Structure 1
Amino acid sequence: MLSIGEFSKICEVSTKTLRYYDEIGLIHPDEINPENGYRYYSIKQLTKMLFINRLKSYHFSLEEIKDILEWEQDHFEEKLSATLNLKKRKLQAKLRTYEYTLKQINSDVLNLEKGISMMSYLNKIEVQLVETKPMQILFTRQMLSSDDYALGYGKYFSQLYETIATEKLTLLGTPITIYHSEEYNPAGNDTEFALPIEEIVKGTRELREGLCAKSVYKGPYSELTSVYAKLTEWIENEGYEMVNSPYEKYITDPTQITDPEDLVTEVFFPVKKRS
Structure 2
Amino acid sequence: MLSIGEFSKICKVSTKTLRYYDEIGLIHPEDINPENGYRYYSIRQLKEMLLINRLKSYHFSLEEIKTMINVEENQAEEKLIFGLQRKRKEVQAKIHAYEYTLTQLNQDILRADMGKSMMSWLDDIEVELSETQPMNILYIRQMMSSDDYALGYEKYFSRLYERIAVNKLTLLGTPMTIYHSPEYNPAGNDTEFAIPIEETVRETRYLHGSLCAKSVLKGPYAELTSVYAKLREWVDDEGYDLAQSPYEVYVTDHQQAGVPEDIVTEVYFPIKKKER
Tell me the TM-score range normalised by the shorter chain: 0.7 to 0.9
Query: For 1:80, what is the secondary structure of its paired residue?
Result: helix
Aligned-partner Cα distance in 2 for 1:125–1:226: 9
Give the unaligned 5+ runs of structure 2.
Answer: none
Give the Å deviation of 1:36: 4.8
Counterpart code for 1:219: G
CA 1:193–1:84: 2 relative to 1, 3 Å = farther
Counterpart code for 1:183: Y
Aligned-partner Cα distance in 1 for 2:191–2:7: 49
Alignment-derived partner of residue 254 in structure 1: 254
Query: Percent identical across equivalent pairs?
Result: 67
Confirm or deny that 1:183 pairs with 2:167.
no
Aligned-partner Cα distance in 2 for 1:184–1:91: 31
Q: Deviations over 1:246-273 (max 9, x none)?
A: 3211112334432432322111234455
CA 1:3–1:250: 2 relative to 1, 3 Å = same
Q: Deviations over 1:180-225 (max 9, x none)?
A: 564253x776654332111123443444444443211222222112
CA 1:98–1:38: 2 relative to 1, 3 Å = same
Question: Please, what TM-score do these two structures have when normalized by structure 2?
Answer: 0.81
Counterpart code for 1:66: K
Alignment-derived partner of residue 92 in structure 1: 92
Q: Deviations over 1:51-80 (max 9, x none)?
A: 222222222222222222344445443343
Query: For 1:249, what is the secondary structure of its paired residue?
Result: strand
Counterpart code for 2:19: R
Q: Following superposition of structure 1 onto structure 2, how do residues 15-34 of structure 1 map, counting pairs within 5 Å?
A: 15-33=15-33
Kept in 1: contact 2:69–2:76 (CA 8 A): no
Give the Å deviation of 1:173: 0.7
Aligned-partner Cα distance in 2 for 1:28–1:147: 39
CA 1:206–1:61: 2 relative to 1, 3 Å = farther
Query: For 2:118, what is the secondary structure of its paired residue?
Result: coil
CA 1:119–1:46: 2 relative to 1, 3 Å = same
Aligned-partner Cα distance in 2 for 1:55–1:120: 44
Larger radius of gyration: 2
Kept in 2: contact 1:144–1:191 (CA 8 A): no
Kept in 1: contact 2:145–2:185 (CA 8 A): no
Which segment drifts farther, 133-142 or 98-107?
133-142
Q: Following superposition of structure 1 onto structure 2, how do residues 128-147 of structure 1 map, counting pairs within 5 Å?
A: 128-140=128-140, 143=144, 145-146=146-147
Alignment-derived partner of residue 123 in structure 1: 123
Q: CA RMSD in A?
A: 3.1
Kept in 2: contact 1:132–1:210 (CA 8 A): yes
CA 1:38–1:86: 2 relative to 1, 3 Å = same
Equivalenced residue count is 273
Aligned-partner Cα distance in 2 for 1:88–1:160: 29
Aligned-partner Cα distance in 1 for 2:80–2:271: 49
Which segment drifts farther, 11-20 or 34-43?
34-43
Question: Please, what TM-score do these two structures have when normalized by structure 1?
Answer: 0.81
Give the unaligned 5+ runs of structure 1.
Answer: none
Kept in 2: contact 1:141–1:192 (CA 8 A): yes
Aligned-partner Cα distance in 1 for 2:190–2:50: 42
Aligned-partner Cα distance in 2 for 1:188–1:54: 41
Q: Deviations over 1:89-130 (max 9, x none)?
A: 222222122112212222222221111122111011123344
Query: For 2:51, what is the secondary structure of its paired residue?
Result: helix
Alignment-derived partner of residue 218 in structure 1: 218
Aligned-partner Cα distance in 2 for 1:128–1:96: 30
Alignment-derived partner of residue 50 in structure 1: 50
CA 1:7–1:118: 2 relative to 1, 3 Å = same
Alignment-derived partner of residue 63 in structure 2: 63
